[in-house]
Amino acid sequence: MVSTYGVVVISDLSSEESARALRARIVDVLTRQWREMSGSGPIDELWTAIVEVEGGARLTVSAPGMIADRAEREFFTGADQGRAVVCEDSDEYGVQFGVWKLGSEGPSLVYRLYAQDEEYEADQGSIARQVRGADAATRAARVFDVDPGALIDLDSDTAPVVGEIGFVGSPFIPLLNALNLQWPER
């Protein structure tokens, strides 16, 4: 079985300059965090892209073999106005999907789903950090200017997410699709 550990951040910001600044911050946090944990890291596998989108720039950071390890707020502190999703795969320990609103008032987590295979023990810390339900899913959909129906459905029935655990990226595809986003292709 192949390890699926990894984190992907997709963020829409007002400019390429803002996207470059956020990219530097995320890469710095991940690098520091990994070195503190193990002395080295799979930084060579880290991949980033900045593309122009309507109203600004989209930053994508893909870090296979790494996890955010609860550093999302640190990623986004000081970021310009925007929005972001964090897809974190902790292999057999489950997946987390978070939606963030970014701005001068600081980063705000509006939605976080934790899903895991019932064959494995759930991570109680991840369960406690969830921000779920129809209201939270609706707020997340509003951040991305989409209809909330698909995300509300996934929030109430995570089977399409859980059924894909163990495959790189696959658990996140229905969640990303609900926000009109796509899993990054290198």
**For residue range 118-130, what is the model confidence (pLDDT) as tens digits?**
888 787 888 888 8
Q: Percentage of the chain with pLDDT > 90?
A: 65
> Taking 60 as the threshold, does the pLDDT of residue 1 lie above it?
no
Locate all alpha helices (DSSP H) within the chain, ordered by sequence: 16-38, 72-76, 124-128, 134-143, 149-156, 159-162, 173-178
Domain residue ranges of the chain, discontinuous segments joined by +:
6-178
Q: Percentage of the chain with pLDDT > 70?
A: 94
**For residue range 82-123, what is the model confidence (pLDDT) as tens digits?**
999 999 998 778 899 999 999 989 999 999 999 988 888 787
Distance CA 111, CA 172 (A): 14
Let me know the angle formed at the C-alpha of 78 by 72 and 82, rounded to the nearest 5 degrees. Answer: 75
Mean pLDDT of 35-47: 68
Between 2 and 172, the more confident residue is 172
- What is the pTM (predicted TM-score) of this model? 0.92
Distance CA 24, CA 125 (A): 28
Between 185 and 74, the more confident residue is 74
Q: How confident is the model at residue 165 (pLDDT cuts 50, 70, 90)?
A: confident
Q: Tell me the two tokens of residue 89.
A: 């795969």
Tell me the CA end-to-end span of the chain in Å, nearest whole number: 22
